[in-house]
């Protein structure tokens, strides 16, 4: 017996009233009452509300990945680009049409869904050069001290020192492109000459520098050396369309466990970059991009209060840029309350309550949902089947919809991986692979500081020049040359002053300390 207080199609119709949408919407599924699917009571997620963010949660094996697939393919079909992480390697099926079978036929019949196979445009990316997707990178300078401190696991004192190091490099126009650049700057600032450079604004203690350098070495051993560098990812490459469909960007993360902090913080960097790059949009009929933040607990784990406050502020502000963010995790309690309160759409798969801690998490989860006369939520959340979820979203009026026990539609794309060979073929034919495959190592802090301390090379003896021929006119001797004439031009002087000013200007940093464009 399903845990309900009211039974029959009347309850389903009452719940479904809250999900009526005048505009385009993602079709999630249909209301379930007392174990019966009411096909006429549809549960929808309006596209116009997706910049109010959302949550997809549930225990392992309850269908979260298929929900991400279901939402992503419909967003793509509506022309909305999507970014999501392929943690388990089975979301590549979004690029291939699904295969009809008895299970999809049964689910479609229950929901009144005219299921037909469909595929979407997908581009495959990997962090650094070690994955199967096109390699993407960020520079140390762009990442900034706040996000890098999170990756390195630094405390507040060490983060403050790292901020000072970035400030010094920014002021002097030293590009920190990769880890060797940062290492060379830290080494310089702990030398006698470097200490003199920092006189009056603090200093870098040898002990703190040692901690940062050791953390940097650990990051390099985990693949960070391959990730930081150029060419840097242009976030506009995540916002493309193909034949009217939004391109789905899959971040391949099959080696997630080896560098979880780098993965989660990189996703936050992407959000910060999108915030800095995109113009204000206000309320749109549909979002410009939807960003799925998988394994969200990794971002919030061991985060400082200041870091959490920045996340909260970013989530608040980025909605005005037309970007929707969905956090994906096992428990809603993995998300801090100040962030959780901003997530308008909730798709909650089954929870398990095997331990006292599980039971506490279940009780806390129930309290995050609107009260409902139709379900005993504590019982419902432990009774959901695979492919079922408790759902509440924001209506187009901005009000929470009634809680709905929902049987979700089957994705129309392939449920599973397309295989390594097919992924490699897609990557090889992608224009992004040609753009990002080759690493660029231009002059940066490492080379400039190395040249500063290196002994000057012996200059070759200049060949003797022939004596100049005597001039036939004495006036010619005082006539300025072409370069002198150009430099005396007022327009050229103005340009040179502007260029010098631009070169000397300190880098401006955003909310997360990332470089602002």
Q: What pLDDT shows up at residue 390?
A: 97
Query: Higher confidence at residue 23 or residue 306?
Result: 23
Q: What strands lie across the sheet with 122-127, from one edge to the other?
A: 36-46, 25-33, 404-408, 388-392, 345-348, 54-57, 323-329, 289-293, 82-86, 248-252, 122-127, 134-136
Nearest-CA neighbor of 420 among 21, 90, 27, 58?
A: 90
Q: Are 377 and 346 in contact (CB under 8 A)?
A: no
pLDDT band at 516; cut points 50, 70, 90: low
Inter-CA distances, 264 with 209, 256, 257, 271, Å = 25, 9, 11, 11
Q: Long-range pairs for 490-493 at CB < 8 Å and ≥24 separation?
A: none
Q: What's the number of CA atoms in the CB half-sphere (13 Å) around residue 2?
A: 21
Q: pLDDT tier at 230 (50, 70, 90 boundaries)?
A: very high
In this prediction, what percent of the chain has a pLDDT beyond 70? Answer: 86
CA distance 207 to 159: 13
Where residue 508 falls (left for φ over 0; alpha for ψ -120 to 50; beta otherwise) is beta
Between residues 517 and 17, the one the model is more confident about? 17
CA–CA separation, 174 and 440 (whole Å): 17
How would you label 447-458 residue by residue, b for 16+ Cβ within 10 Å and e otherwise? ebbeeeeeeeee
Closest by CA to 345, choosing from 295, 401, 301, 305, is 401
Say what the pLDDT of residue 491 is: 40
Residues 6+ apart with CB under 8 A from 418: 92, 93, 95, 96
| Count of alpha carbons within 13 angstroms of residue 476, beta-carbon side | 5
- pLDDT above 70 (res 258): no
| Residues 515, 272: Cα–Cα separation, whole Å | 9
Residue 116 has pLDDT above 90, yes or no: yes
pLDDT above 60 for 224: yes
Q: What band does 358 get if pLDDT is binned at 50, 70 and 90?
A: confident
Q: Residue 517: what pLDDT? A: 56
Q: What is the dihedral of CA 12, 14, 20, 26, to 10 degrees?
A: -30
Predicted pLDDT at 479:
42
Q: How far apart are CA 26 and CA 99, in angstroms?
A: 21
Inform me whether the pLDDT recorded for 437 exceeds 50. Answer: yes
Contact 303, 146 (CB under 8 A): no
Q: Band of the pLDDT at 58, cuts 50, 70, 90?
A: very high
pLDDT-derived band at 508, boundaries 50, 70, 90: confident
pLDDT > 80? residue 232: yes
Q: What is the pLDDT of residue 310?
A: 86
Please state the rounded mean pLDDT for residues 394-423. Answer: 93
- Return the SS3 of 44: strand
Mean pLDDT, the chain, whole residue set: 85
Helical axes 156-171 vs 179-189, angle rounded to 10°: 90
pLDDT band, very low/low/confident/very high, at 506 (cuts 50, 70, 90): low
Distance in angstroms (rounded) separating the CA atoms of residues 84 and 86: 7
For residue 242, give the 3-state DSSP assignment. strand
Cα separations (Å) of 252 from 83, 88, 327, 412, 448? 11, 9, 17, 21, 35
The whole-angstrom separation of Cα 95 and Cα 422 is 10
In this prediction, residues 303-315 reach a mean pLDDT of 86
Residue 392, classed as helix, strand or coil, is strand
pTM of the model: 0.85
Of the candidates 292, 192, 310, the one whose C-alpha atom is nearest the C-alpha of residue 251 is: 292
Positive or negative torsion for Cα 291, 159, 449, 454: negative
Spatial separation of the C-alpha atoms in residues 307 and 261, rounded to whole Å: 14
* Beta bridge mates, 346: 55, 392
Pairing status of strand 323-329 against strand 289-293: parallel
Phi-psi region at 387: left, alpha or beta (left = phi > 0; alpha = psi -120 to 50):
left
């Amino acid at each position: 017996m399903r845990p309900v207080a009211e039974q029959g199609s009347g309850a389903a119709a009452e719940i479904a009233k809250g999900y009526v949408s005048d505009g385009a919407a993602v079709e999630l599924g249909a209301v379930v009452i007392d174990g019966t699917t009411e096909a006429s009571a549809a549960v929808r997620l309006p596209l116009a509300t997706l910049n109010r963010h959302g949550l997809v949660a549930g225990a392992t094996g309850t269908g979260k990945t298929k929900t991400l697939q279901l939402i992503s393919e419909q967003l793509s079909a509506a022309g909305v680009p999507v970014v999501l992480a392929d943690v388990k390697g089975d979301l590549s099926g979004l690029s291939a049409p699904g295969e009809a079978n008895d299970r999809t036929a049964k689910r479609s019949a229950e929901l009144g869904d005219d299921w037909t196979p469909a595929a979407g445009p997908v581009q495959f990316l990997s962090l650094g050069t070690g994955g199967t997707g096109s390699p993407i990178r960020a520079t140390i300078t762009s990442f900034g001290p706040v996000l890098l401190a999170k990756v390195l696991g630094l405390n507040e004192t060490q983060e403050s020192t790292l901020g000072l190091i970035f400030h010094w490099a920014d002021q002097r126009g030293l590009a920190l492109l990769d880890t060797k650049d940062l290492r060379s700057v830290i080494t310089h600032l702990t030398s006698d000459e470097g200490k003199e450079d920092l006189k009056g604004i603090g200093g870098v203690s040898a002990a703190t520098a040692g901690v940062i350098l050791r953390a940097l070495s650990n990051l390099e051993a985990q693949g960070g050396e391959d990730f930081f560098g150029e060419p840097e990812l242009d976030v506009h490459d995540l916002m493309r369309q193909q034949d009217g469909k939004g391109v789905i960007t899959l971040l391949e993360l099959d080696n997630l466990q080896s560098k979880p902090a780098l993965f989660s913080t990189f996703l936050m960097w992407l959000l910060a970059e999108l915030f800095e790059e995109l113009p204000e949009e206000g309320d749109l009929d549909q979002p410009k991009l939807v960003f799925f933040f998988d394994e969200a607990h990794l971002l919030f784990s061991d985060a400082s209060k200041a870091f959490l406050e920045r996340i909260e502020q970013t989530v608040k502000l980025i909605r005005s840029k037309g970007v929707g963010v969905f956090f994906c995790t096992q428990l809603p309690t993995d998300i801090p309350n100040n962030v959780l309160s901003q997530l308008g759409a909730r798709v909650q798969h089954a929870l398990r309550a095997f331990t006292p801690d599980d039971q506490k998490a279940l009780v806390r989860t129930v309290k995050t949902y609107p009260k409902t006369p139709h379900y005993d939520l504590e019982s419902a959340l432990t009774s959901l089947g695979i492919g079922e979820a408790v759902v509440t979203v924001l209506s187009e009026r901005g009000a929470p919809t009634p809680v709905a026990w929902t049987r979700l539609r089957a994705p129309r794309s392939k449920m599973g991986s397309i295989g390594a060979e097919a992924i490699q073929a897609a990557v090889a034919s992608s224009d992004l692979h040609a753009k990002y495959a080759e690493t660029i190592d231009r002059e940066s802090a490492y080379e400039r500081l190395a040249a500063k301390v290196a002994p000057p090379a012996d200059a070759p003896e200049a060949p003797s020049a022939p004596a100049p021929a005597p001039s036939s006119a004495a006036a010619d001797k005082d006539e300025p040359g072409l370069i002198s004439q150009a430099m005396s031009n007022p327009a050229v002087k103005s340009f040179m002053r502007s260029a010098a000013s631009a070169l000397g200007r300190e880098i401006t940093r955003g909310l997360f300390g990332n470089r602002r464009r």
